[in-house]
Amino acid sequence: MDILIISLVLAFIVISLYTELIGPAFTFLIGVVILGIFGILTPKEILSGMANEQIAIIILLLLIGDIIRKTDVIDWLFDKFFRSTKTYRGFLGKMIFVVAGFSAFLNNTPLVAIMMPYVHNWSKKNNIKPSKLLIPLSYAAILGGCATLIGTSTNLIVNGLVTDQLIVPGLKPLGIFDFTVVGLPMIVLGSIYLILFSDKLLPSKTDAIAEFSIQPREYLVEAQIRENSRMIGKTVEGAGLRNLKGLFLVEIGRGDQHFSAVTPSQVLREDDVLMFAGDTETIAEMVNSQMGLALTQVGMFAKRAHTEVVEIVVSHNSTFIDKTVRQAGFRGKYDAAILAVHRNGEKISGKIGMVELKAGDVLLLLAGDDFSKRSVDTNDFYLISKIREFRKLKWYQVAVLFGGLAAAIIMSGLGYVSLFMALIIVMILIQFLQIASPKDIPKAIDYNLAIIIVLSLALGTAMVKTGMADIIANFIISVFKPFGALGMLFGIFMITNLLASYITNKAAAAIIFPISVSAAINMGLPPLPFILIVAFAAAANFITPIGYQTNLMVYGPGGYSFKDYMKIGLPLTFIYMFVAVFILYYYYIY
């Protein structure tokens, strides 16, 4: 009866997730509650995932990644390598190469956490949806992690099972490069597959962060050519101002002269004032831009340690109506500088400081720390949304943030401390050194993602507890055993990968490992290829977001559904299966 109930619950979950009948969190909640009602799961087992170390690690890494994203330091670091890359496939190829290479020797979960903010920002700058890049980021980490013993925790767990098992006494532990014979070719083939098909198979979705912002508006914004700018002496076209995404050069001001019909051959000079029409995100990027332009309204705000770009609308009884931007005195009154002005359906011209404000004008502000406190009870405007946050860190704060994260990864990799404890220490240092505000931490937690992970672990517990996972495993293996060694390898890969997709890769490896080794011994075959196929099948998990940590990490920020993973991940899984099976068969058995 328990098996029947779990089967029906699984069928409901799969149908709901892939048809998007209801939200994934609510789908898992209904399924797990049914298991609780029938006594298959106890309340303690349902909630046990909340004490799961891996869940806490994922949340901590996402929080640290969000802090890194707000500092813009990661942009500067990665720009050294990706600066010249402007095309989607060019960036995708470089990203996969970097991530897969490092994942072979580093824990791939923190690596994805570090890369996510940069990938997100690069995609926005280049008008590409993050959903086109975040799943490939996760898959690249998985491909690289499968190539060595230390690349993923799943391989280490399988190696632990090798040293602990009693079926084949004296079996040697796995070597660091035993996985490379399959892992390296799959890095190459998997990379080619992702580069060729990611754009076609992945959705073009608005990311979770962008969903909180409204439709972009066209603002008038003013910037001045800085001293020593690379633009000085170049033409408008030569300086790259004709092809800026999200910005259009409207006018050039030079002293008392104004060039409203800007030609591509117009030569730029120091202190020229450039008037752009642009959208919210692009103007927000200009605050910390390396273009050689300074937003004229920013002034000393550029040196602030913490600022935010926010959007407001001027109210109908505002004291700013009929006053110019300069006369409004925003800096003194609200601790904010007006960056740009938008007036729906009406063209604005002239310098920003001389624009007379009207009711309904939408203003883009660069706000300081006191803005929220000073604007609580104001009748002058209404806050629409926060566009972007900037934090300028001191050298020692940067050292602690990045050095602490690197030390946490290295120390946990060497076994001196658990990754969870190391990340907790990093978070304490972040708070102590005021790198991030404590009140912002809860806002950055993806509670929906945490619920999905906790409930999916409960579902896995039910499958293991009732013996359903063992029944499925033994049935599949009995079906494939008559087809010899090759058929058995295919069967083991399929069942391990399927179980890993829904009950976590570690549990799947633990269930299938003894069955796989026993099958090899009964057939008179060497156990090593049967051990390795379990490791590859458990770790190479592409078809669901809940099967692997990095898939879960990009699930929310990419705005993905479960079927997005199946669409791009199923062909990659089949490629991995055929490559792994045939290489292991011909290398160890044939």
Residues 474 and 532 placed together within one structural domain of the fold: yes
Residue 485 maps to a domain: yes
Residue 76 maps to a domain: yes
- Please report the pLDDT score of residue 212 as a whole number: 36
What is the CATH number for 258?
3.30.70.1450
Task: Tell me the C-alpha to C-alpha distance, in Å, between residue 400 and each of 277, 352, 428.
Answer: 39, 40, 11
Give the Cβ contact number of residue 242 at 10 Å: 14
- Please report the pLDDT score of residue 166 as a whole number: 47
Residue 132 maps to a domain: yes
Residues 110 and 224 placed together within one structural domain of the fold: no
Please, which residues bridge with residue 225 across strands?
293
* Cα dihedral 86, 91, 93, 98 sign: positive
* 161: pLDDT strictly greater than 50: yes
Residues 193 and 66 placed together within one structural domain of the fold: yes
Give the chain's length. Answer: 590
Q: Which two tokens stand for residue 71?
A: 């500092």
**CA 38/CA 6 separation, integer angstroms:** 10
- Please report the pLDDT score of residue 345 as a whole number: 59
Residues 6+ apart with CB under 8 A from 517: 165, 167, 168, 527, 530, 531
Residues 143 and 23 placed together within one structural domain of the fold: yes
Q: Which two tokens stand for residue 205?
A: 């979705």
Structure confidence by residue, pLDDT tens digits, 102-111: 888 766 777 7
Residues 349 and 480 placed together within one structural domain of the fold: no
- Please report the pLDDT score of residue 38 as a whole number: 86
Residues 559 and 483 placed together within one structural domain of the fold: yes
Minimal CA–CA distance to 500: which of 489, 487, 488, 513?
A: 513
Q: With b meaning 16 or more CB within 10 Å and e meaning fewer, what string describes 71-99?
A: bbbbbeebeeebeebeebeebbbebbebb
Residues 386 and 408 placed together within one structural domain of the fold: no
Residue 439 maps to a domain: no
Q: Do the bridges between strand 381-391 and strand 247-254 make them parallel or antiparallel, or are there none, so unpaired? A: unpaired
Which element (helix H / strand E) includes 362? strand 362-367
Q: Which of 370, 404, 434 is the last residue of a domain?
A: 434
Question: What is the average pLDDT value for the chain, to the nearest integer?
Answer: 78
Task: Tell me the C-alpha to C-alpha distance, in Å, between residue 561 and each of 18, 108, 239, 452, 569.
Answer: 8, 22, 41, 13, 13
Structure confidence by residue, pLDDT tens digits, 386-420: 766 666 667 777 788 778 877 887 787 677 887 78
Residues 354 and 291 placed together within one structural domain of the fold: yes
Mean pLDDT of 573-588: 94
Domain count, the chain: 3
Q: Which domain holds residue 284?
A: 219-391
What secondary structure letter does DSSP report for 586? Answer: I
Tokens 């920013």 identify what position? 298
**CA 200/CA 29 separation, integer angstroms:** 33
CB 512 within 8 A of CB 499: yes
CB 288 within 8 A of CB 72: yes
- Please report the pLDDT score of residue 210 as a whole number: 46
Tokens 């458990």 identify what position? 538
CB 326 within 8 A of CB 353: yes
Structure confidence by residue, pLDDT tens digits, 189-210: 999 999 999 999 998 876 544 4
Residues 196 and 251 placed together within one structural domain of the fold: no
**CA 587/CA 590 separation, integer angstroms:** 7
pLDDT bucket at 329, cuts 50 / 70 / 90: confident
Residue 88 maps to a domain: yes
- Please report the pLDDT score of residue 49 as a whole number: 67
Q: Give the chain's end-to-end CA distance (angstroms, integer).
A: 44
Give helix 505-522 / helix 153-164 axis angle, nearest 10°: 40
Residues 460 and 385 placed together within one structural domain of the fold: no
* 579: pLDDT strictly greater than 80: yes
Q: Do the bridges between strand 257-259 and strand 306-314 make them parallel or antiparallel, or are there none, so unpaired? A: unpaired
Structure confidence by residue, pLDDT tens digits, 49-104: 677 676 677 677 777 767 776 666 666 667 677 767 778 899 999 999 888 988 88
**CA 441/CA 444 separation, integer angstroms:** 5
**CA 148/CA 137 separation, integer angstroms:** 18
**CA 17/CA 39 separation, integer angstroms:** 24
Residues 529 and 499 placed together within one structural domain of the fold: yes
Residues 339 and 466 placed together within one structural domain of the fold: no
Minimal CA–CA distance to 511: which of 54, 1, 161, 156?
A: 161
Lowest mean pLDDT among 41-50, 163-172, 325-334: 163-172
Residue 87 maps to a domain: yes
Residue 318 maps to a domain: yes
pTM > 0.75: no
Residue 440 maps to a domain: no
